[in-house]
Structure 1
């Protein structure tokens, strides 16, 4: 199978040519919850009434299939044939579905087709059988294993010499907490002798990095790739979830990491054919200017493109040079190139070697270098040949420019891929290019290039300093025309920092000189001996303040390991990490440092930005997602920080007051944000016809550039941008917004609106205008 575009060439709409039995009805909005042993199906069910009152259309759940015991995220699935027992099992899942349906809510489930967890081998029955029976296992073809390389390598040892520490216990091979089966008829003798007879070989992680013979998820050896491109494997791994869809208990599917699949388009067509009435979105990260392949029968992406477009509105591009100077004028292309090469030459060396072995007519060493160079040069996460031929050509051309000495090898690679774009070489190279981009750019460069970290987000482009109002409007209009049911988001379980942290950091772009002075003064007192981490740390401290020392320490240690400059996940520099921990404790507890006072100055404008970007997301084209807890101020950092428990009781109390008519002040409680969320989402639920069409509205007057406004179908959204500059200029003065015909009432204040911005935004920095005022 390959992603060749089975839809007719003339198709211009998503999924054209794919039969549909039912019209897809997307939810009005979604609310993402992170299920875990401490927040189960029953706990989620208890929030149904709250979500209904908030205006949510569907609960959007993290993976619900059986996962590694104790998993706090669920992406490490071990058994796709049953609902996770730790969450309440099948009975709990069905009870949740009934509760949601009774409350008028849908259920969107996150599915993980690319991989399964194998690190705890005993927990995965399919993997356990493969280890026990080798190629004779009926599940041997379920996993992407290169059996031509001999025994299945399992990199679980610190060094190969640790084999001496193996032991036999209860009919199994053991290495500390790791358990492995013994093939029939292979027992007898020492643990090492038994080990030598198995279908697998336990090896050190360094050898695994270069010789691994099963495809994994990125560089995580505990997650083995699954071959869902095979019909039998697709049926076995999706049977249970598709049953839930068929029975009406699941109304939408979110597909995790389609870029890792052999044939993303073919896979998504299979899902659409099996679940024709389900809302279907793919976690596809689009670079600016990149579009979804037209042959994908999906309703859109999970919204990182919208995050970039909306968040960038609140960043002042005039500050770019100030932050470049503060960061020491880093060269982004050079940093990204080095980070991606680190991935191809080290972290994913085994994958590069396996792909290079498929190249014919050239030296193996040159083939490996050519493969690496092309993947390093990719302008997007992956191409979808032959649809993505332009991206493939651009990568090859850039590789030629950088490595003229590899011209012959690159030509051979290019010819072979173009000759058979559905073949194993082209397929494996495309699967792996996304891994190189994600690990090299998102998970390394974004922690090294810390000039202005509000831009360092999944799907973001840190070199593009903000989004113009025109760019935003163009993108919103395109989404309404092409993918009106795409998900939009501001925070996810994968974002590097929450929407409210980014909103506060955006204020720094309006105060670049003051922030630079503060950073120099703070660094003089508490320096971190690594410049990029030092700048990241001060931005993080300001963006997430107030923050406990432990949270800051854990975040900075993770950031340092991801950057791979002074410490890494596999080779930890204990002295440096101890210094980071000490730094976090000292700066948070130093009341004379002045961080709290600085944050007090920017907190108000940060709230303005947060309300503005939230209202825009909730009312612009697309299906908005609210990540758990972010209906109030949320200053979370990257996972696992963003999986902390949510205080739903507090949120219910505030919501009750809003339902009773309270119009809250903008303060530390965050009630104003919940007010905005409820106001927009209840309209989405009760009057969906309002959220059709899209028309940009242009303000007139001296402060017009501080306003973003657009009209839907009887609804107008108004938001303030760059609030510090607005205040410095003396406010709105005579700025006005010509409104479409009719009488208008602000849903948030209950007051009539006539177009005078100073009056319209006198209470809140945002307004949601409803024609006629009747809800």
Structure 2
């Protein structure tokens, strides 16, 4: 691999409470842990109080709240002293406009309209008139009362604490604020009128406006600061956020690669079997595809039928129709402005007969666009590349809505004829938004049969990954994408790796868990079935948990599902039920003791799965990322829960014990996971882990081991235990053995520091798994040196 490709990364969530200076303080710890590069959340100037950095307001400066550029320079210097790289997360797709005064470019656009020097920086449909800003309160009067509350303050149009610029010469000292408002290049409207927006957003977030980085001048302005770091040798890699939202992802990445010669990975959610387009000059993705494989191989497929029966018995939907419905809801509701804009671009002459059944021509065009957007088998296509994805979407839409076939044929014809044209571009941009919001933020909260499988880019209908499939995908990754990022937990995952590992153990006791859930539901169930099943799995997955933390998560889940309540239309009575549920459960001693009993049954199996997942991810093909804090057990849920502060002091204390030679036990401290992470990361720094060869065990428990060899001479072997409850029930490893690759030199397990004696001819070593895995459920073997 190139010297610029890190051996591993460690993700830090920077925020005002954990700045660049704080990151520098933990650099020594990361180096001792074995990390190759610090991988930071976005550090450009973000909206006031930002907790994540994805709401950039000024891409030309480092966030003062994080310490500014001086702190960045100092951090990089510290990293270089520790022989660590620096990888930055960048956000090319959008900027925050929620607080106009914080964003100088947006402020200028609002002030000067189409004449602003920054008007073309944002994707605004000027033909639809002034910029629509849905910020006014609405008590059912369309925002009329709110409009009456406008005033002029500090030379701005004011609405309570909100400030908006005034066009030059548009107001006088005695002018009525309402009349002044009508003279501006924007219109303040009710928040309920977000469907009338005329600027493209990041998903459905009105406060994040899309940026036109396809324009060379816009690219230069938004990337100048980042590229300055690179020119100074202060940047080794880039993680590019949300490339599917760009007009031309491939064109953008090709330009970025011309300007920056370091390691580039793109946040790209892949459908099963999908790969990044061949023309993208990137090392790979941010690792969700690997996450699904690594986590899935520790799930028992035998649990599928009982979990399906449980879901059905509780009236929780299990079929693909849930996803189809969720996609349509997203297209028709959340993304109505985008759909309308595409339909206007289409401008198809519709025969009079098309207006039958009371459907107007323009209405049919929007219906056709919605159907197509909801039909993509992947997040998006990239015409003229990947025509198979586009073709599949068109054909699926035609099958679903034959009455719209004429329009779909016309869309298909025009898009293929002009793959870089506005119609094809906007459809492909928007399809990823529909899939993401329809699936990730809706269907995954409705289709809750087995939530360990409900992850970003995952297919909830899949129940685990078999060993052969895992090996095939890992070998392909080694051959085609050896420098792609791999992950188990990220800032976007629905639950952390250790929660999924514990839930994977439930797949081995599905009948016991199903009986418990039916009993618990009868005693204290939530009235919405999908949320009810999600709640019980979550409770087991994160136990022990405070009532407040669980309540905050369940409220978010309930709103995301949009079944009984939502972010925009709250059902107060139902939300009160949800918020009260955790306390009801935890205060019922008999019920909570029963939950604790289930957790006690699977806790150690969950630890085994966690260690297995981690050692596999850290040594399998790709560049592994460790999400902050997950070197110990981490039972986190979706953000903001997974952005809680990390106790680095405690981790450094444990690391010091390991450095003194301590071999930890497998217990609740999680020190053993830190041990596994440290040994694996140091190994990656010391040895080149190329290639990939599956290893097969033989004996009565062969199905319970996952093993592979890596390195030019196959001199590194990873061994992990699968399905530990079934292994124990079957009598353990017995005489199951694992033949290791032949070659000169003896083998040593880095985790136990024990040497394995040759047991066969020609120096061949056959490891007896009962001995190899007697202390830990995983092993990391190296040969020689």
Which category of TM-score, normalised to the shorter sequence, fits these structures? over 0.9
Query: 2-side partners of 1:427 and 1:321: how far apart?
Result: 42
2:613 corresponds in structure 1 to 613
Cα distance per residue 1:680-700 (max 9 Å; x no partner): 001111x232x1111000000
1:759 corresponds in structure 2 to 771
**What's the secondary structure of 1:390's corresponding residue?**
helix
Query: 1-side partners of 2:677 and 2:154: how far apart?
Result: 56
Instruction: State the Cα distance separating 1:330 from its structure 2 match.
Output: 2.1
1:16 corresponds in structure 2 to none
Q: Is residue 2:168 matched to residue 1:184? A: yes
TM-score by length of 2: 0.94
1:164 corresponds in structure 2 to 148
Structure 2 regions of 5+ residues with no counterpart? 351-360, 757-765
Q: Is the 8 A contact 1:77 1:116 kept in 2?
A: yes
Query: 1-side partners of 2:423 and 2:121: how far apart?
Result: 20
Instruction: State the Cα distance separating 1:592 from its structure 2 match.
Output: 2.3
1:482 corresponds in structure 2 to 480
| Stretch deviating more after TM superposition (759-768 or 737-746) | 737-746
2:192 corresponds in structure 1 to 206
Listed as ranges, the matches of 1:81-120 within 5 Å are 81-120=60-99
Q: Is residue 2:282 matched to residue 1:298? A: yes
1:688 corresponds in structure 2 to 687
| Stretch deviating more after TM superposition (583-592 or 456-465) | 583-592
Listed as ranges, the matches of 1:549-560 within 5 Å are 549-560=547-558
Q: Is the 8 A contact 1:476 1:620 kept in 2?
A: yes
Counterpart selection for 2:341 from 342, 348, 354 = 354
1:501 corresponds in structure 2 to 499
Cα distance per residue 1:70-107 (max 9 Å; x no partner): 11000000000000000000111111111111111001
Q: Is residue 2:217 matched to residue 1:216? A: no
2:354 corresponds in structure 1 to none
Cα distance per residue 1:432-467 (max 9 Å; x no partner): 000000000110000000000000001211111100
Instruction: State the Cα distance separating 1:332 from its structure 2 match.
Output: 2.5
Query: 2-side partners of 1:139 and 1:360: how far apart?
Result: 29
2:263 corresponds in structure 1 to 279
Query: 1-side partners of 2:387 and 2:190: how far apart?
Result: 39
Query: 2-side partners of 1:598 and 1:583: how far apart?
Result: 19
Q: Is the 8 A contact 1:488 1:623 kept in 2?
A: yes
**What's the secondary structure of 1:459's corresponding residue?**
coil
2:726 corresponds in structure 1 to 725
| Stretch deviating more after TM superposition (718-727 or 516-525) | 516-525
Counterpart selection for 1:525 from 523, 526, 551 = 523
1:12 corresponds in structure 2 to none
Cα distance per residue 1:130-180 (max 9 Å; x no partner): 000101110000000000111010111133322112121111111122110
Cα distance per residue 1:308-359 (max 9 Å; x no partner): 0010001111111111111116243211111111111111111000001111
Cα distance per residue 1:502-541 (max 9 Å; x no partner): 0000011000000011111111211100000000000000
Counterpart selection for 2:415 from 417, 421, 425 = 417
**What's the secondary structure of 2:366's corresponding residue?**
helix
RMSD, aligned α-carbons: 1.0
Q: Is the 8 A contact 1:324 1:330 kept in 2?
A: no
Closer/same/farther in 2, CA of residues 94 and 589 from structure 1, 3 Å limit? farther
Q: Is the 8 A contact 1:166 1:173 kept in 2?
A: yes
Q: Is the 8 A contact 2:311 2:318 kept in 1?
A: no
Query: 2-side partners of 1:719 and 1:468: how far apart?
Result: 14
Q: Is residue 2:320 matched to residue 1:321? A: no
Query: 2-side partners of 1:208 and 1:522: how far apart?
Result: 41
**What's the secondary structure of 2:782's corresponding residue?**
strand
Q: Is the 8 A contact 1:335 1:448 kept in 2?
A: yes
Query: 1-side partners of 2:318 and 2:516: how far apart?
Result: 24
Instruction: State the Cα distance separating 1:590 from its structure 2 match.
Output: 3.1
Counterpart selection for 1:151 from 123, 127, 130 = 130
Q: Is residue 2:750 matched to residue 1:747? A: yes
Q: Is residue 2:582 matched to residue 1:584? A: yes
2:760 corresponds in structure 1 to none
**What's the secondary structure of 1:165's corresponding residue?**
coil
Counterpart selection for 2:219 from 210, 214, 234 = 234
Query: 1-side partners of 2:238 and 2:436: how far apart?
Result: 23
Counterpart selection for 1:260 from 245, 248, 252 = 245
| Stretch deviating more after TM superposition (702-711 or 516-525) | 516-525
2:273 corresponds in structure 1 to 289
Q: Is the 8 A contact 2:320 2:461 kept in 1?
A: no
Cα distance per residue 1:37-87 (max 9 Å; x no partner): 000000000001100000000000000000011110000000000000000
**What's the secondary structure of 1:592's corresponding residue?**
helix
Query: 2-side partners of 1:559 and 1:646: how far apart?
Result: 24
Query: 2-side partners of 1:590 and 1:235: how far apart?
Result: 60
1:547 corresponds in structure 2 to 545
Q: Is the 8 A contact 2:342 2:427 kept in 1?
A: yes
1:655 corresponds in structure 2 to 655
| Stretch deviating more after TM superposition (580-589 or 404-413) | 580-589
Query: 1-side partners of 2:148 and 2:194: how far apart?
Result: 18
| Stretch deviating more after TM superposition (123-132 or 575-584) | 575-584
2:158 corresponds in structure 1 to 174
2:372 corresponds in structure 1 to 374
| Stretch deviating more after TM superposition (355-364 or 706-715) | 355-364
Query: 2-side partners of 1:644 and 1:562: how far apart?
Result: 21
Query: 2-side partners of 1:752 and 1:231: how far apart?
Result: 59
**What's the secondary structure of 1:710's corresponding residue?**
strand
Query: 1-side partners of 2:342 and 2:561: how far apart?
Result: 26
1:195 corresponds in structure 2 to 181
1:342 corresponds in structure 2 to 329
**What's the secondary structure of 1:768's corresponding residue?**
strand
Query: 1-side partners of 2:137 and 2:776: how far apart?
Result: 57
Q: Is the 8 A contact 1:319 1:509 kept in 2?
A: yes
Query: 2-side partners of 1:45 and 1:502: how far apart?
Result: 31
Query: 2-side partners of 1:546 and 1:703: how far apart?
Result: 33
**What's the secondary structure of 1:357's corresponding residue?**
helix
1:699 corresponds in structure 2 to 697
Instruction: State the Cα distance separating 1:30 from its structure 2 match.
Output: 0.3
Query: 1-side partners of 2:654 and 2:17: how far apart?
Result: 24
| Stretch deviating more after TM superposition (577-586 or 71-80) | 577-586
Instruction: State the Cα distance separating 1:24 from its structure 2 match.
Output: 5.8
Q: Is residue 2:233 matched to residue 1:248? A: yes
| Stretch deviating more after TM superposition (645-654 or 317-326) | 317-326
Query: 2-side partners of 1:550 and 1:245: how far apart?
Result: 44
2:759 corresponds in structure 1 to none
Counterpart selection for 2:291 from 302, 307, 315 = 307
Q: Is the 8 A contact 2:46 2:55 kept in 1?
A: yes
Query: 1-side partners of 2:256 and 2:678: how far apart?
Result: 33
Cα distance per residue 1:620-661 (max 9 Å; x no partner): 000000000000000000000000000000000000000000
**What's the secondary structure of 2:345's corresponding residue?**
coil
| Bigger relative contact order, structure 1 or 2 (CA pairs below 8 A, ≥6 apart) | 1
Query: 2-side partners of 1:602 and 1:675: how far apart?
Result: 22
Give the total of aligned pairs: 748
Query: 2-side partners of 1:259 and 1:85: how far apart?
Result: 29
2:761 corresponds in structure 1 to none
Listed as ranges, the matches of 1:23-102 within 5 Å are 25-102=4-81
**What's the secondary structure of 1:737's corresponding residue?**
strand
**What's the secondary structure of 1:755's corresponding residue?**
strand
